[in-house]
């Protein structure tokens, strides 16, 4: 086998474009990749596995942090302050926040962009709408 292609994932053109978009830090591509990964459709799950396999070698030293607390405890405020601090330290931030306990929507977005105004507009931050 040719060493230059060993271990590479061969993707259909639309999925390769999605991978390329994520690697180019395009928010729309990242949102589409997340939607694909969250989908319960079998065809989406198969595509998501391939997309994630293609992205895995590029993940570097990403760190995941979980934040939980009672309603009104200040989670959104904390996320914004922490996110802006991390950006000031030279990092990029992604916020994928869901509140599954919400009685209003049955799973509303926690800390919507209106509560994280500065973070949501920063070019080194991504907030999953």
| CATH number for 41 | 1.20.5.170
Q: What domain range includes position 48?
A: 13-58
Residues 51 and 91 in one domain: no
Beta-strand (E) ranges in the chain?
93-95, 125-127
CB 76 within 8 A of CB 115: yes
Q: How many domains does the chain contain in total?
A: 2
CB 51 within 8 A of CB 12: no
Write out pLDDT tens, residues 31-42.
999 999 989 999
Asked if the structure places residue 3 within a domain, the reply is: no
Report field, pTM of the whole predicted structure over 0.85 = no
CB 126 within 8 A of CB 30: yes
Residues 44 and 83 in one domain: no
Asked if the structure places residue 94 within a domain, the reply is: yes
Asked if the structure places residue 117 within a domain, the reply is: yes
CA distance linking residue 34 with residue 69, whole number of Å: 24
Write out pLDDT tens, residues 43-61.
999 999 999 999 999 988 8
CB 49 within 8 A of CB 36: no
């Amino acid at each position: 086998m040719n060493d230059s292609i060993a271990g590479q994932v061969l993707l259909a053109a639309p999925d390769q474009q999605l991978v390329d978009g994520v690697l180019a830090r395009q928010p729309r591509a990242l949102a589409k990749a997340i939607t694909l990964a969250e989908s319960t459709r079998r065809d989406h799950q198969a595509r998501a596995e391939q997309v994630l396999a293609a992205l895995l070698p590029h993940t570097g030293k990403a760190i995941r942090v979980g934040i939980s607390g009672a309603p009104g405890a200040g989670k959104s405020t904390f996320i914004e302050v922490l996110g802006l601090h991390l950006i000031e330290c030279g990092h990029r931030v992604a916020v994928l926040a869901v509140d599954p306990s919400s009685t209003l929507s049955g799973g509303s977005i926690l800390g919507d962009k209106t509560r994280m105004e500065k973070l949501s507009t920063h070019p080194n931050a991504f907030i999953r709408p």
